[in-house]
Structure 1
Amino acid sequence: MFLNLGGHRISMLCVFGYILVGSYILECKGKSVGDSSNSENVIKDDTVEYLKSYGEKMRSYMNLSVAPCDDFYEYACGNWKNVRPDRFQPNHKRNNLLDIIYTLINEGEKLLTSTQLAQALNVSSELLVAQQFYNTCLSAVVFPFPAADPAYLKLIRSLGGFPAVDGAAWNASSFSWFNMSAHLTNFGVNGLINEDILPQYPFGPYFKLPELGFDHIVQTDNIANSTSRAYKLNEKRMKSYLQPYNLTEDKISEVIAGVFDFWRDALAVADRFEGDNEKCIEISANEDLPKFHQWESYYEIAWNGKNFSNVGGTDGYCDYYYELLEKVCSKHPEAVANYLAMLLLYRMDAKLKEEKYHKDYCLSMVQFSFSHLLNKLYMAEHFIERTRSEVSAIVGEVRKSQRKALEKVEWLDPETRREAQLKESTIESVIGSYENEEVNTRLIQEIRGLDLKNASYFQNLIHLRKLVTRLRRFNGFHYEELHNESKPLELLLGMQVNAFYYNLDNSIYVMAGILHPPAYHPDWPNSLKFGTLGYLVGHELTHGFDTIGSTFNSEGEMRNWWSKKSRAVFEERATCFVDHYGRYLIPEINQKINGKETQDENIADSGGLQGALDAYRNHMKQLKNRSDEDNEILKSEKMPGLDLSPEQLFYLGFAQLWCSDYEQEHFWEELKMEHTIDKYRVLGAVSNNHDFSKVYNCPVGSLMHPKADACHIW
């Protein structure tokens, strides 16, 4: 189960030295990766100054006018959006944890000049390609976006045409909305085919229902009138793509109106099953509907004819939806072609709001497009054994708390408890990334096929988008060469802000890229480390025992290892989370959280937070047993500038991971995702955590401690 931060290099040996050997607690300080071995006094002074600075930063995020028992999210994060760094922001929300990507982008900029390291790792030619792309990006005009560049129009015409621009020259009789959609997936465009890749052998595609719109996902109720934000943002985006072609205002209005008409009819189809792909598939099966006749074309266009349904893959598409969608597209052929053409432009668009973000954009393009190359450089330069050791120790301590929870939980019968304990005991922990040198090398070598010397930036971008899609599909293209226990490519990429629990091999992955503030720093007090990284680790471990993870056994096989009695109690407790989170109203869009869709992530947040706190308390108990200096231990567990106890700091660290800044469209975007919107992740987790109410002295009946009973499973 992926966190999807969900999803997220520093050092450590000394930090965990004093956890394991109490006498080192006052002398041994961690250093950042790459630090030279200065004297201990200099290290200590640097650490003190850093902690003061970081304490001030944490305080700057807070709204101290709000009582923590009234709204812990606002208390912890109320000022974050006013002080967050001004960086290039794509069309999705910002949050504190995901902002680690800017740290990685900064590191990526340095790695672009690491020619000696590239030579040592035998990736010099690939690094040269990345440098060339970066330089052409910096010299290109990307703001405002040149939608009418000949390279884009030529590509659109080759895929299906642009009737708004081509007029009578566009041939409706030869247009296939399905084939154009299939071609667009080759450039990473999820138009009317919403493709994703299965994270298991044979790594073929699976499909969700299309999400229509550009800057704002459209739904029937949010485009009911032309004054809504969803309507206005999409109208503005389409105008920006049509105006460079010198169309008249009347023509532009006509084209946009046509797209909205198509959207409304397509949304009416999806509304029949509440936009839920699983419900749609169920209807198709129950009514014994025939297979949609065009999927072979998709496999020919996108996968060179590979069809995964015969090799253990899954189609995952809803025939009923596509049969009905074809009728809608036949009614609006020009509008569909115009929409798909503009979706391609949207994919190529830098979406800059100001020219000052140009460099950030180019760096982010390099970061995501040459990810495996930069990952190889990054892991060699920054990820050292000391880091792996400390993080492994944190994982180990949180696992101890999970084992104790499985021992103590009163509602498990003996046989089910033994199965659960066996599963926990066999979890594999991978810190940094999964290593597969052969696949990594092949992915990096694909870069050599890019010829960027004699083309414009826009032609380069087209080629690069196609390469990125090909790399994303790499395992699927080569499944015949792979073992059926091969890992998904996501697990090979350490330089990402993420952590994973993988059901199929009962393993937890803490990726190297997440080991930066606000998730981790070697010099932090343990109270903060366990509230941040410890919680994230606990979250992933709990996924092994959520409603999906609990259907897999210790060997990663789907098997019912539960007694009927224990399973009934488990499901009753899980339903508590559905009901609790389903009551949260998002006032900005007047919609409620989908408690069922977000159930497992909320269970993981609850288990992860409690498991991390228990692990931290066990640490403190061990330290106090090994030292006579209780006051010094307690002092080292606080953060300068914050008048908080160590356990209050623990909860603050957790909450500040999710400090965020949403626009209205971001709420709509995340409404149907598996993760609860950030604010309600915090509120739901702490209001169902009895220890939080004790640590912050929240009485029963307060907003953060609404009732004596709380939702919990483990």
Structure 2
Amino acid sequence: MNQGNMFSISNHLRLPLLAGLVCILICGFPLAYEARSIGDDSRENTITDDTAEYLRSYGALMKSYMNFSVDPCDDFYEYACGNWKNVKPPQRTTNKRSNLLDIIYTLTEVTEQLMTKTQLAEALNVSAELRVAQRFYNSCLAAEVFPHPAADPAYLSLIRSIGGFPAVDGDAWNASRFSWFNMSAHLTNYGADGLIHDKITQYYPFQPYFKLPELGFDYNVHTDNIANKSSRAYPKNEKRMHNYLKAFNLTEDKIESVITGVFDFWREALAIKDRFGGDDDRCNELSELYNVSTFGQWRSYYEIAWDGKDFYNDSLAVNYCDFYYTELDKVCARHLEAVANYLAMKLLYRMDAKLSDQEYQKDHCLLVVQSSLSHLINKLYMAEHFSDDTHSEISAMVTELRKAQRQVLENVEWLDGETRREALVKESTITPVIGSYKDEELTDLFIRKIGNLSVAEDDYAQNIINVRRLATTLWRHKGLHFEDFSPDAKPIALMIGNQVNAFYYILDHSIYVMAGILHPPAYHRSWPDSLKFGTLGYLVGHELTHGFDTVGSSFDSNGQMRNWWSTKSEAVFQERAKCYVDHYSNYLIPEINRRVNGNETKDENIADAGGLTQALTAYRSHMKQLQRRVEDNETVTPKNEQMPGLDLSPEQLFFLGFAQLWCAAYEEEHYWEELNHEHTSDKYRVLGAVSNNNDFAEVYKCALGTAMHPKEESCRIW
């Protein structure tokens, strides 16, 4: 899925790495319980006392998320997740909270344990690098990060070296020497989005591409949500800037003046995007309409951020939106001080732990280690926590899901014979990878770079600057050194097993189920198979479906872009895809009075629908196979497919598990953050998927005309 993903790029070049987030362990039970593997049904299905207690406990947890006052046929999301916001663990950061995302904190607990594994590090020949990670972690624990020490000399020195901070430096700041574009380019070296929002294409030569920047701090700003000071967006951003500026002992009058200047800049910059709705393609249309020449500063970005790599002329892999940047340059020229102040504070924001309370400082420190020193932690994690038994069971599940997908392709009535043959060939060539992609030589290189990281015991600010810079450099490595790699080189993202993700990689027609995803609520070996298929099975099916969404379907079995569709079948396919666009575009998000962008989210919505259908088909097939083996008197003990404490049939549990992957607690700002994402907000992706699934209506006995079964003919491609 793609967080991910299930997590975009310009419409004229869809990123061939479709990512997907998954789930979370709220109860702290380990993954080591033995249970029958899906792939080995001859193993006796013995439920131990520990396993039974775990299942009772997890069933109670699932039940605690539910709102039984709501009919599942009226609002299945509220039924499945309505009480989650009341029983979730305490808030740790300003980020969106979800059952999906909180698995990251499960992994931080594992990371904390791994930081003590000196013998394991010795066996893996990474002892020196682990000591560097430990020094950074200890410096983080000992530092004062709440509230953020914005005035630390290390931060100010860096800001002055890349553009300056007029609010702090006053007359010493020289406007004539300031370049808003160059300062934004420098910010990208630390993973900070100023006025350049760059990403990396996940294929050779791994060059950058560009999204239009989002403005603001904790809350993305839009013209209407900062129209007056009473909106939620205004005070949240105002407070963030006030706290940073106050750290420099500025007067209240000065602080107010600086903040007012930033808001004035934002309003003018937002007016540019309003002219084309913030859509990359429409921006490029305006560039042609107004005959805007190429924005001339991009070479500076490549000099600052990419060692002068000559990607500038590779127009196939970038989206510069010359109209936007030409107009933005005019706005910045009218607000030079405000822009410099804004970018300085964006760098501070990147270094800020952004904690809601000091008690979560350890979480922050572990998250930085886990995400920024990821290749080291991943090597330890995979050696310690990813077993052959787990690999075997997930492989067996993938096999079942592929059988289900093949069955769909064989039986779908609207494909003509030749197109069906092409589709079946494509399905037969899928390569599954469980755990992670392995490149030991590159992994060792990255780990050695971690070993060279400069860490000072009593200078956390400089340490976090160094770590942020190193993480960005490692992420850009294949692009910076593309000459050293072959054209079929894999993305770096596929090497990190301990991430909460799954991928479909379009260029080699492969799916990846990363080891970090294999925690509740996505997976536990002791669960009933009905729950496993409703969670991990759906996630795998989602990734498989990406091979046959509107982007994946334009590539063949060799990963080559080729139209293998007949005119008739393609016309039906596009018509059915439009059904998803129209359906999801009808969802109004009342918190921000905006509708879901059905066109931007269509491929993820198609993948959700396909994944859910395939997973249920695979589960039903799996249970029939078990039943035949029982009838044939093989040594197979029937497994209890219900969850203790939940009065649900196995297939009702299947759908509940799917929905509870996406239990979330949104604040208003989080809807704005996700408004232009390729993934529909969590609530509406659940509602959209089940209301277009006839099996769901049958399993939960939803009458035709109810909200979850609105019409006889639902949206369906696969």
**What TM bracket, shorter-length normalisation?**
over 0.9
Partner of 1:50: 54
TM-score normalised by the chain length of structure 1: 0.95
Aligned counterpart in structure 1 of residue 225 of structure 2, from 222, 241, 261: 222
Contact 1:10–1:383, Cα closer than 8 Å, also in 2:
no
1:582 aligns with 2:585: yes
Q: In structure 1, what is the equivalent of residue 682 of structure 2?
A: 678
Find the aligned partners of 1:85 and 1:692 in 2 and give their Cα distance.
30
For structure 2, which runs of at least 5 residues remain unmatched after alignment?
8-19, 23-29
> Structure 1 residues 633, 530: CA separation in 2 closer, same or farther (over 3 Å shift)?
farther
- 1:618 equivalenced with 2:621 (yes/no): yes
Q: Structure 2 counterpart of 1:246, which letter?
A: N
Quote the residue 1:284 is aligned against.
287
Instruction: Name the SS for the 2:224 alignment partner.
Output: coil
Measured after TM superposition, the shift of residue 53 of structure 1 is: 0.6
How far 1:251 moved relative to its partner? 1.0
* Separation of aligned partners in 2, 1:153 and 1:550: 50
Tell me the secondary structure at the aligned position of residue 504 of structure 1.
Answer: coil
SS in 1 for 2:333: helix
How far off is 1:277 after superposition?
A: 1.7
CA distance in 1, matches of 2:385, 2:520: 15
Q: How does 1:599-638 map to 2 (within 5 A)?
A: 599-628=602-631, 636-638=640-642
Equivalent residue number for residue 402 of structure 1: 405
* Shift in CA distance, 272/445, structure 1 to aligned 2, threshold 3 Å: same
Measure, in 1, the Cα distance between the counterparts of 2:315 and 2:163: 33
The alignment yields a C-alpha RMSD, in angstroms, of 1.7
Q: Which of 358, 379, 385 is 1:376 aligned to?
A: 379
Write the mapping of 1:533-548 to structure 2, written as runs, cut at 5 A. Answer: 533-548=536-551
Q: How much does 1:693 deviate?
A: 0.6
Q: Does 2:112 correspond to 1:109?
A: yes
Deviation at 1:308, TM superposition (A): 1.6
Q: Secondary structure at the match of 2:247?
A: helix
Correspondence 1:142 to 2:145: yes
Corresponding letter in the other structure for 2:473 = R
Find out whether 1:21 has 2:41 as its counterpart. yes
* Deviation of 1:497 (Å): 0.2
CA contact (8 A) 2:190 2:468 kept: yes
Note if contact 2:139-2:457 (Cα within 8 Å) is conserved in structure 1.
Answer: no
Question: Which of 462, 465, 470 is the equivalent residue of 1:462?
Answer: 465
**1:212 and 2:231 matched:** no
Deviates more, 1:616-625 or 1:308-317: 308-317
**Alignment-derived partner of residue 656 in structure 2:** 652
User: Given that residues 506 and 554 in structure 1 are in contact (C-alpha distance below 8 angstroms), is that contact kept between their aligned partners in structure 2?
Assistant: yes
Task: Give 1:98 shift.
Answer: 1.6
Match of 2:134 among 131, 136, 155: 131
How many Å apart are 1:99 and its aligned residue? 1.2
Aligned to 1:69: 73
Which residue is 1:100 aligned to? 103
Matched, 1:663 2:667: yes
Aligned positions of 1:166-181 closer than 5 A:
166-181=169-184
Q: Secondary structure at the match of 2:225?
A: coil
Partner Cα separation in structure 1 for residue 329 and residue 41 of structure 2: 68
1:700 aligned onto 2:704:
yes
* 8 Å contact kept, 2:204–2:489: yes
Which of 505, 510, 522 is 1:507 aligned to? 510
Residue 40 of structure 1 is matched in structure 2 by none
**Are the structure 2 counterparts of residues 681 and 164 from structure 1 closer, same or farther at C-alpha, using a change threshold of 3 Å?**
same
Matched, 1:437 2:457: no
Q: How far apart are the structure 1 equivalents of 2:457 and 2:686?
A: 51
**C-alpha contact (below 8 Å) 2:299/2:312 kept by paired residues:** no
Alpha-carbon distance in 2 for matches of 1:669, 1:21: 45
1:453 counterpart residue number: 456
Given candidates 85, 89, 95, the residue that maps to 2:89 is 85
CA distance in 2 between counterparts of 1:183 and 1:545 reads 39
CA distance in 2, matches of 1:218, 1:402: 42
Q: Does 1:190 align with 2:209?
A: no
For residues 429-457 of structure 1, give each alpha carbon's deviation from its aligned partner in whole angstroms, at most 9, with x where no partner exists.
00000011111111111112212136511
Contact in 2 for aligned 1:416/1:566 (Cα 8 Å): yes
- Counting matched residue pairs gives 695
**TM-score by structure 2 length?**
0.95
Per the TM alignment, residue 12 of structure 1 is displaced from its structure 2 partner at its CA by: 9.1
Deviations for 1:216-265, whole angstroms, at most 9, x for unmatched residues?
A: 00011111111110111101111011111111111111111110110011
1:389 lines up with 2:392 in the alignment: yes
Q: Distance in 1 between matches of 2:122 and 2:500?
A: 27
Work out whether 1:412 is the aligned partner of 2:415: yes
Unaligned residue ranges in structure 1 (runs of 5+): 30-43
Residues 125 and 87 of structure 1, relative CA distance in 2, 3 Å threshold: farther
Q: Which residue of 2 aligns with 1:39?
A: none
453-462 or 692-701, which deviates more:
453-462
* Pairwise CA distance, 1:199: 0.5
Q: Structure 1 residues 454-463 or 509-518, which shifts more?
A: 454-463
User: Shift of residue 667 of structure 1?
Assistant: 0.3
- One-letter identity of the residue aligned with 2:124: L
Matching residue of 1:348 = 351
Distance 2:325 2:125 in 1: 47
Q: Which amino acid aligns with 1:483?
A: S
Shift of 1:88: 2.1
Question: Given residue 626 of structure 2, which amino acid in structure 1 is its aligned partner?
Answer: L
What secondary structure does 1:581 align onto? Answer: helix
Q: Deviations over 1:143-190 (max 9, x none)?
A: 111111111111111111111111111111111111111111111111
Instruction: Indicate conservation of the 8 Å contact 2:528/2:639, yes or no.
Output: no
Q: CA deviation at 1:13?
A: 8.5
- Within 1, Cα distance between the matches of 2:310 and 2:332? 25
- CA distance in 2 between counterparts of 1:315 and 1:84 reads 41
**2: CA distance, partners of 1:680 / 1:54:** 25
Judge which range, 381-390 or 330-339, deviates more. Answer: 381-390
**Residue 272 (structure 1) shift:** 1.5
1:445 and 1:79 map into 2 onto residues whose CA distance is: 46
SS in 2 for 1:499: strand
- Equivalent position amino acid for 2:579 in 1: C
From the superposition, tell whether residues 310 and 701 of structure 1 become closer, same or farther in structure 2 (CA, over 3 Å).
Answer: same
In 2: Cα distance, 1:535 partner to 1:333 partner:
50
2:167 matches 1:164: yes
Percent identity (aligned): 65
